[in-house]
Chain A
Amino acid sequence: MAAQPEEAGGWRDIGAYLKSAGFRFAALFAVLFLAAILGFALMLWWGTAGTLSRQIDDAIRADAIGLQEAWRSGGVAAAMEAIGERLAVDIDDHAIYLLMDEAGNRLAGNLDRWPSAAEIPGSWSADMVRRDGVAVPARLHRVPLDRGHRLLVGRDATDRENLRTLLSEALLWSFAVAVAFALAGAAALRRALADRLRAASATAGAIAAGDLSRRVPLSAQRDEFDQLGASMNAMLDRIDQLMMGIKGVSDSIAHDLRTPIARARMRLENALLRAPDEESLRAAMETTVADLDGISRVFQALLRIAEAEAGARRAAFARFDLAAVLTDAAEVYGALAEERGQQLQTSWPEKLEMVGDRDMLLQAIANLLDNAVKFTPEGGTIRLTASAPARGKRDISVSDEGPGLAPMDRARAGERFFRADPSRALPGSGLGLSLVKAVAVLHGGELQLGDAKPGAERPGLEARLTLSSRA
């Protein structure tokens, strides 16, 4: 009884082996190989033994027609003479004839009696006849005659049978060799497949066990397995990057939100312990509510970024006029800029149709304009432009006259909570450009950052959104 689980394991192994892709590919190879051999054998048989059989039947048929003609034109005597003549010049000694009358008497031919296999008029049969006491195969055809007479035309089929025997033996041996080759080939194929997949399988196993640094080794062959391995590696790199991103975001959330939460707590505690009157307590609570609103806005921004990055809103894409969105944004931020003594210059075509998420794009443009207003000094100019550089492409550009971004900072500008040194003193969460970047990617484009006036003392920043209107 103790051996039962082991036995079950054995059957399970066999079942898994039979279900494996390697076995199925190998079996397919073997079946195709054997089918090809079988097809070849059939063609060979048809072209040799088959041809000989057809030639024998054709000769018998021609003979039968000739004798029927003689029968019709000259009756019994003519048929007997025709049979005698044909037998007299049959140098190969293959011809078989027998003509009998209605009483069963032999009239002509070289058979001593009627064979039992040829009883039905018009029938074709294979039977044995004796030559020098030895039974030899014969192909026989009973030719229909009138007046109760019977005519048999046939051929000695010894040569055909010998060829069939030889061919059968040769094909049998060939088939045995083909089966051996098919099995060997199938085993080699299965082994080759297993060898090629082993590396990927080992990598996947190691990653499942927790070693995320492992990658599928690639060979110099650059075949389909290498392509699969490269895809797996790219996927693992992406997962690694995302995990790093998640870790970075978690750290940033912990770091950036700890301070305002601690500040709000301290303010409440101070107010609770030291507030001299109700008015002071109310003022402290209002400030704390404003702080908590800020924290809530940060979480809302994080959720929107996550939503954009996941592409979940792609299902809600619709056709809209980008020009109208730009006009809305320009109205709000134009007023804000005016308040700060700045000027907002705009330029875009009358209509800019595109397919996408209108709200997300409005939020992204607002974020860019918000940054521009924040960093442009009083009296400065902000430019908001848009164009359709190619069919299906839309560009939106926001440039300011602020201090700009150092090249190293530009590379990190899309990261969550990243804030360049000059902006640390200004209000903000470091999530604005992250959202813009995520929205650009959602629309099949990207966010490019550069100097608005390259080489100038204050180069400013140009943020360019390149979008695909068919995203």
Chain B
Amino acid sequence: MPWVCALLLLVSFAARAQPAAPRLLSDSPEYCAELAGRFAALGAEAPVHLRVLADEGRQLCVEGQTRSGIAKLRRALKEAQRGD
């Protein structure tokens, strides 16, 4: 029994010693705000339907649905870029 406990401890230490994988930051509310700012920088040049899409994305981020919000903002930005 003691050797089983020692083995478990060793495994647990080894797991703790392993550094955690790097984290992706592009699904955070901060990034959502960064995208909203990027869209806002386009100003009144963006077509109305893309502004509506970007607003929806911003709203989703505010409501906590960050990934959906980011996706809408990215789509709006891509469409705007394509329009350019």
Contacts and interface: CB of A to CB of B under 8 A. Distances in A.
A344 B19 CA distance: 119
Main secondary structure of the interface of A (DSSP, over half): mixed
A114 B23 CA distance: 10
Contacts of A87: 26
Interface in B8-54: 19-27, 31, 35, 38
A89 B81 contact: yes
A115 B71 contact: no
Interface in B34-84: 35, 38, 67, 70-71, 74-75, 77-78, 81
A115 B26 contact: no
Interface residues on B, range: 20 to 34
Contact of B26 (A110, A113, A114, A128): A110
A91 B24 CA distance: 15
Interface stretch (A38-46, A49-57, A129-137): A129-137
Contact of B74 (A90, A110, A113): A90
B77 A130 contact: no
A127 interface: yes
A127 B21 contact: yes
Nearest to B70: A93
Contacts, number: 60
Q: Which residue, of B22, B70, B77, has the highest number of chain A Cβ atoms within 10 A?
A: B22
Contacts of B21: 115, 127-130, 135
A467 B65 CA distance: 105
Nearest to A112: B23
Contacts of B77: 88-89
A195 B71 CA distance: 70
B23 A89 contact: no
Contacts of B20: 130
Given A89-B77, A89-B78, A89-B81, A111 B71 contact: no
A4 interface: no
A96 B70 CA distance: 15
A340 to B, nearest CB: 120
B22 A115 contact: yes
Contact of A111 (B19, B24, B35, B74): B24
B83 to A, nearest CB: 12
Interface of B: 19-27, 31, 35, 38, 67, 70-71, 74-75, 77-78, 81
16 contacts: A88-B35, A89-B74, A90-B26, A91-B71, A93-B71, A96-B24, A110-B31, A111-B22, A111-B23, A112-B22, A112-B24, A113-B23, A115-B21, A116-B19, A127-B21, A129-B21
Given A88-B38, A116-B19, 19 more contacts: A84-B38, A87-B26, A91-B74, A91-B75, A93-B27, A93-B67, A93-B74, A109-B25, A110-B24, A110-B25, A110-B26, A111-B25, A112-B23, A112-B25, A113-B23, A114-B22, A129-B24, A131-B27, A132-B67
